[in-house]
Structure formats: structure tokens, C-alpha cells
Amino acid sequence: MAEAESPTRDDQESTLRERALGPVVTNTAIGPFWLIPFTLLVSALTRNEIDHFRLQTWIGAAVVSTIMMVAGVAAFRHTSPRPAEHTTDRWVVMLLRVGLASMGFVFGMSTWVASSASIEMVMLFAVFPSTAGALAAMLTAGRRDMFLSLLIPMASASALTLVTSTDIRLRGLAVLWLFYAALLTVIHSTLNKTARTALLLQMTSEDLLAEIERDQVKLTETNAQLAISIEQLTHQATHDALTGLLNRRGMFETLESLVGETATDPVGVLFLDLDRFKAVNDTLGHRGGDHFLRIVADRIERCVAANGLAGRIGGDEFIVALPVPTRRPRSQLPISCKVCSARPSMPRGASCHRRSASESPTLRRTAATSATCWPTPTSRSTKPRPPAAAASRTSTPNWPATTASASTSSCGYGGPSTTATSSRSSSPSSTPAPE
């Protein structure tokens, strides 16, 4: 378990170090802009009390440190922006460390510069490295290596100058300075933990936001797929899988809305079924019967597509609803002729034909139709609606009673005239579905 978690900890530690480096570089980037002015100002104020050679050496070291710091910061920023998983090049990190070490050495030289003057001047110059160390502990929080790169040269140079002094007070000051450097290390360790905790919380928040975004994308995709599935299921629930027309449920719901209590426009309903459809199944097989039903459905849909709705409510039973017909139900009879006479995509010779007992057993197709219209002229009075017609042999909704029945009418195409019979009530027939 420990071996499995070790790479994760290493990756997390590397990421924390990389993220902490950016703020450290940003904080220490201001050093080069005040290091040279600081040394020049102090040298100008103390030139009468301190050796000029030491002051010039101090200023030269400040110039070199400034150049190295500027080079390190420029190299770091040149590699940015970079991918989150990319680590800073080692030579860039080393250049930054060298720049901080040179800055620490400049501050550590301050006691050497003042060693040729009075003890009071040395003690005054000893304040410079102690102040710089306190600032460095705060500015380098998150990267202990950067803090130590500045503190070690500074503490070493300053303490070495004080220890080699002949004055016992300066030697005591050297011991005090070393104790102060150790205290700065402890303070920086505490600040380092705080900075790393803040960075860890930031990383956790970013990971959570990224995970939420991924989950949101997945949820959006799932909702889109669910909407498509619902649409498909809704279509399958209200449409016939074989012909693509409205099925019994979809057609009855449509008719209920058309003849509801608030309906005022006339509605014509045309019932159709195929005579002797069992002979088609027996002769051509169920596959042929299915193809025949698709042809009939296509013919009906093409005939009424612009004027009404068509549906298949049983095995060989179809229904047509005409939302805006005339008020005379018999005026809808030409629709049945149009259905029968439409040119189908089927073998030549098929027709809407009335078969007699003397005809040959050659397959002929006939369609029986009945028509109705609601509301009728009399049903628009203030009297309540007439009760529903007698229940048909199939389960149908409680539609208003029919007011007219279609009589036979001649229809045909490309050959001798054929007839469509009409002797049915307003309810669809109960011809059983093909096996």
C-alpha cells in the first residue's frame, strides 16, 4: 500500500514545489531594483568613515548580484507559460539559487565593509543582514531551498567577519547572529507549511472544479441522450412500427382532441379495412402481407397528407381524420376513391375491386369504407351532444354518433372501373390482425 501511494505523494510534492516557485520569483524580483540604490546610498552616507576600497567592492558585488538575479528571473519568465505538468528546468532553478546566494553574500559583506570603522558602525551595518534575513523568510515562503540559498551565504559572511574580530563584543554579536539565523529558519519553516497548505487547498479546489465540469459535461450528454430516448419512446408509443402511421392509441388521442368539448370546427372520419386480407397472407406469406400493408399505408398517407391524418388501428384497419371538411359528410367520399385510385408501388393489375362469387381466384384488393362527420348541423344547437354510438366490436373511445354513411362510389385507374363499398358504421371494424 505504501509503495502504491508513494508515487502519488511524490507527484504532489513536485507539483507543490513547482507552484510555490512562481510566487517566490515574483517576490524576489524586486530585489535587483533596490539593491544597487541601497548600496550607493549607504556608501554616500558613510564614505568619510569607511574605507573607499571596501565600499567600491561592496557596490561591485551588488552590481554582479543584480545581474545574476535579473538573468534568473528573466530565464524563469521566458519558460512561462508552460503546461501544468511541466517542471522548471534545473538550470533555471540553479540560476535563481545563485542569484539569491549572491544577494545574501552582498548583505553578509556589510559587516566586513564596516569592520575598518568603529564598533558602533559595525553594529549598525550588522542590522542590514538581519533585516534582509527577516524579509527573505517571508518572501521565500513555500521554497525552503531558495531561503537557504540566501541565508547560508549571508549568515556565513557576516558571522565570519564578527568572529575574526578582536573585540569581544563583536564575537558575542556573531554568536547572537547565528542564533538569530536559526530562529529565522524556524520561522520560515512555519511560513512554509502555511504557504504549502494554501497551495494544497488551491490544488484541491481546482481538481474539484475540474471534476465538477467533467460531471456536468457527462450529465449534459446523458440528458441529451435521455431526451432522444424519450422522443423515440414517445414516437414508438403513438406510431405503428410497420407502416409509420399513427397507431390505435395515437389516433384515438388525436380524435379525442379534435372532437373534444371545445371543438367547433367540423371533423370528418373515414374508416377503411382491406377485404380478404387473409388471402394475401396465405398466398404471399406474412412478409408479403407486411409489404402490402406498407404500400396501402403509403397510398393512404399520400392521399391525405395535406388535408388530414391517417392511422392504422388494427391488422388491416385504417382510419383517416379530416380536421376541416365540409359539413356534409358525404362530401368526404371522394377521399375513399382517391385512396383506392392512387397509384401504388405494387404489381400491375392490383386495384380497388369488388369481388363476386363468379370471379377467378386471382388476388384482387378491395377496400370497405365508412364516413362520418362531427359536428353535424343539428349537433350545433344548444342541446347536449347525442350519446355515443353503440359500442363496436373493437375497443374505441366514446366518440359522438355518426350522422352519415358513405354509399358506394365508383373509383379506379388504368382499366375498368372498380367500386368501393360502404356499409359500415362509424366505428372501426374488428378484423383480426394478420398472424
pLDDT given for residue 2 in this prediction: 42
| All residues at 6 or more sequence positions from 113 whose CB lies less than 8 Å from its CB, including other chains | 50, 54, 55, 57, 58, 125
CA distance 133 to 125: 14
Which residue is associated with the grid cell 512562481? 22
Provide the whole-model pTM.
Answer: 0.54
Answer for the pair 112, 40: CB distance below 8 angstroms, yes or no: no
Residue 13: phi and psi, rounded to 5, are -65, -40
Q: How far apart are CA 65 and CA 167, in angstroms?
A: 31
Which sequence spans correspond to the domains of the chain? 2-212, 248-348+364-380+392-420
Task: Count Cβ atoms within 10 A of the Cβ of residue 163 and give its class: 0-12 exposed, 13-18 middle, 19 or more buried.
Answer: middle
Q: What is the pLDDT of residue 336?
A: 56
Superfamily of domain 248-348+364-380+392-420: Reverse transcriptase/Diguanylate cyclase domain (3.30.70.270)
Residue stretches of the chain with pLDDT short of 70: 1-10, 80-86, 261-264, 305-307, 323-435
For residues 29-58, b (16+ Cβ closer than 10 Å) or e, as one string?
bebbeebeeebeebbeebeeebeeebbeeb
* Integer angstrom CA distances of residue 159 from 57, 112, 331: 19, 10, 117
Lookup result for grid cell 359528410: 329
**φ, ψ at 275 (rounded to 5°):** -75, 140
Quote the pLDDT of residue 289.
Answer: 87
pLDDT digits (tens, 9 = 90+) for 260-312: 766 667 777 888 888 888 888 888 888 888 888 888 888 888 888 666 788 88
Number of residues assigned to the chain: 435
Rounded to the nearest 10 degrees, how much is the dihedral formed by the CA atoms of 402, 245, 325, 405? -30
Pairing of strands 418-420, 409-411: antiparallel
SS3 per-residue string spanning the chain: CHHHHHHHHHHHHHHHHHHHHHHHHHHHCCHHHHHHHHHHHHHHHHCCCCCHHHHHHHHHHHHHHHHHHHHHHHHHHHCCCCCCCCCCCHHHHHHHHHHHHHHHHHHHCHHHHHCCCCHHHHHHHHHHHHHHHHHHHHHCCCCHHHHHHHHHHHHHHHHHHHHCCCCHHHHHHHHHHHHHHHHHHHHHHHHHHHHHHHHHHHHHHHHHHHHHHHHHHHHHHHHHHHHHHHHHHHHHHHECCCCCCECHHHHHHHHHHHCCCCCCCCEEEEEEEEECHHHHHHHHHHHHHHHHHHHHHHHHHHHHCCCCEEEECCCCEEEEEECCCCCCHHHHHHHHHHHHHCCCCCCCCCCECCCCCCCCCCCCEEEEEEEEEECCCHHHCCCCCCCECCCCCCCCCCCECCCCCCCCEEECCCCCCEEEECCCCCCCCCCCCCC
Give residue 212's pLDDT.
Answer: 94
